Structure 1
C-alpha cells in the first residue's frame, strides 16, 4: 500500500500527526504552483513587486520562478540547508502580507491582486518549507498536549515591553481620531487625507465615531500577545461560552503571530535604523503630509518604534507558545 493510499484511509487527526510523511509532497506542489504563478505574471506583464505605489519591473517576477524552482530542488534532494535558504527567501517574499490583510479588511480590496497572491503564497511556502526541513527530526506524536502553562518571566517582560511600545502610537492615533492636533496635523486634515487616499467607508465611519482603525488593531495585537503568554491562550476561558474549557487549536494564535512577527519585526527594526540615521543627519526624511521633516521624523519614530518592539516581543511570545504547546 502506497503512502497516498494510507493517507486517504486515515482520519484527520491521524493525518495531522503523520505530517512528516506528507509535508514534502505538499511543499513540492507549492513550489511548482509558485513557480508557475511567477512565470504567468512575467509572461502576462503583471508586476509582482512594488516600491510604494509604483510597480517594479515585470522581470522581477523571474525571482518567484527561481524561488519555486529552488524550493522544488531542495525538496527533491532533501537538502536541509537549501530548504532553510528557500524558507528565508519565501519569508522575504511574504513581507507585505500583514499590510495586505489590513488593507483588505478596511478597504475591501487589495492594492494589487497579484501582489497579494505573491505575499500569501510566500507565507504558505515559508511554513511548508520550514516544516519540511524539520520533518527528518520529528518524533511521532502521541497527540497529548501539555497542561496549560504561562510563559517564563523573561517572555512576560518582553510582552510588557511590546504593549508599552504601542501606548505612544495609540495616543497619537486617538488624538487625530478625536479631532486633536499632533505633529502639526489636525484630525480634520488627517481625515481629509484618508479620504483622498481612498479610505473605505468602514475606515471613515470608525473615524467619525472617534475611533482609529489602526489603534483598534494595536489593541487586538496586544490581546494576541497576552494570549500567547497566558494559560487562557491554550484553553478557551469561560466567557467564550460554548467554547469555554476547550483546547485552543495551536494554529489559531500562531498563524497571525507568525505573520505579524515576520512583517512587523524586520519592518520596524529597519525603520528605526533609518530614523536613527535621519536623526543624526545622515539621511533626510521627506515631510510628506506633515509640515516639516522634523514632524515626519517624530511620527516615524513613534510608529516604527512601536512596530519594532512589538514585532520582537511577538516573535519571542510565539516561540514560547510553540514550545509550551508542542504535543509530547
Structure 2
C-alpha cells in the first residue's frame, strides 16, 4: 500500500514571473474584475442599454440565462458583482496568522466558489465553444478567404466578448478563493500542502476512469458526424441529412469531429507517459518534460466550456422538445457533455496533483 508523506526540500528555489506569482495578485485581480463588472452592470441598470443576455439576445435560447430579462438580470448582476468586490477586498487583505471567524471563512469560500462556478458554467454557452472548435480552421483559411473573414466579423459580437470576460472572471475568482481558503487554513498558497492525503488519494484513484469517460464522449460525437459525412443518416432525420449534405453544413460538423478526436487523444495523455515527457517523434521537444500548465490550462478551459455548452443544449432541447429517438445521434452526445466536462475537470486535477512535485514556496513534496 502506498502512503503519501510530506517532506521538506533542502533548498527551495526562488521562482519569478508574473504567472508563478499568481497567489499574490489573483485575489486583487478578482476584486478589480468584480468592481469593473459591477459598475458595468450598474450602467446597464441605469441606462437600460447594453445588457448582453436575455430575450434580446438572438441566440439566447442556447444560454442558461437566455430567459432572464434586462430589468431583472442587470441589477442582480450589479448587486452580486459589487458585493463580490467588497468580499474580495477583505479576502485579499488577509494576512496569515490573523484569526478569522468561522462563519466568515465559510461565507467567503462558499461565495467565491459559487461565483466562480456561475461565471464558468452558467454565463457561457455554446457560442464560445464553437469559436474554440472552429478557431484552427479560421486561422488557416481566413488569411486567404475574404468571405470567412467577413463571416467571423459578423458572428462575433458583444455577447461573445461578455462570455470571454465572464470566463476570465471565473478563473480569477476560482484562484482567489483557493488562495484565501489555503491562507486561512494555514496551508501553502501555491500547492495547498499539507493537504488531506485521503482527498488527494481519492482524486488520483479516479483519474483513469475520469480520463476514459472524458475521452470517450467526444469520440462518440466525432464518430456520428463522420458517419453522416460518409452518407449514412445514422440517428438523424433523412431529410435533414440530405439538406446538410447538399449545402455542406455537415462538413462543419465533421471539422468539429476532427477537433474532438484531437481532444480525445490529448485527454488520454493525462494518464500516459507521453503526457509527461514529449515522445521521440516530436521535433525539437523530444525527451523534454511537458510543462504542467500546457496540459492543465487548456483542459480546464475545455472542461468549463463543454459543461456550460452541454447544459445550454439540454435547456434548448427541453424547451423546443427536440429530443426524439429519431434524432438520437444529433442530440444524444450533447446530453453527455456535462458529464464530459466534470470528468475532464477531475482528470485534470488528478494530473496536476500527480505532477506538482516539490513546491517552490514551502519545499514540501509527496514521497511514496
Q: TM-score, normalised by structure 2?
A: 0.64
In structure 1, C-alpha distance between the alignment counterparts of 2:275 and 2:124, rounded to whole Å: 26
Match of 1:312 among 335, 339, 342: 342
Alignment of 1:274-293 (within 5 A): 285-286=321-322, 293=324
In structure 2, C-alpha distance between the alignment counterparts of 1:326 and 1:89, rounded to whole Å: 27
Deviation (angstroms), 1:189: 1.3
Q: Do the aligned residues in 1 keep the contact of 2:307 with 2:338 (CA within 8 Å)?
A: yes
Match of 2:132 among 98, 101, 106: 101
Q: Do the aligned residues in 2 keep the contact of 1:258 with 1:315 (CA within 8 Å)?
A: yes
Q: In the superposition, relative to structure 1, how do residues 262 and 184 fare at CA in structure 2: closer, same or farther (>3 Å)?
A: same
Aligned length, in residue pairs: 286
Deviation (angstroms), 1:194: 6.0
Residue equivalent to 1:90: 119
Q: In the superposition, relative to structure 1, how do residues 230 and 115 fare at CA in structure 2: closer, same or farther (>3 Å)?
A: same
Match of 2:232 among 158, 165, 180: 180
Q: In the superposition, relative to structure 1, how do residues 87 and 299 fare at CA in structure 2: closer, same or farther (>3 Å)?
A: same
Q: Do the aligned residues in 1 keep the contact of 2:307 with 2:342 (CA within 8 Å)?
A: yes
1:48 aligns with 2:13: no
Deviation (angstroms), 1:110: 7.1
Bigger CA drift: 318-327 or 36-45? 36-45
Q: TM-score, normalised by structure 1?
A: 0.71
Alignment of 1:2-81 (within 5 A): 13=16, 15-40=18-43, 43=47, 45-50=49-54, 53-54=58-59, 57-59=69-71, 60-78=73-91, 79-81=108-110
Q: Which has the higher contact order (CA 8 A, sep 6+)?
A: 2
- RMSD after superposition: 3.6
Q: Do the aligned residues in 2 keep the contact of 1:268 with 1:305 (CA within 8 Å)?
A: yes
Q: Unaligned 5+ residue runs, structure 2?
A: 1-13, 61-65, 92-107, 139-150, 192-202, 360-368
1:17-43 CA-partner distances (Å, limit 9, x unpaired): 443222222112212222244345553
| Secondary structure of the structure 1 residue equivalent to 2:283 | helix
Q: Do the aligned residues in 2 keep the contact of 1:162 with 1:310 (CA within 8 Å)?
A: yes
Q: Do the aligned residues in 1 keep the contact of 2:129 with 2:309 (CA within 8 Å)?
A: no
Q: Do the aligned residues in 2 keep the contact of 1:162 with 1:311 (CA within 8 Å)?
A: yes
Q: Do the aligned residues in 1 keep the contact of 2:134 with 2:256 (CA within 8 Å)?
A: no
Q: Do the aligned residues in 2 keep the contact of 1:236 with 1:245 (CA within 8 Å)?
A: yes
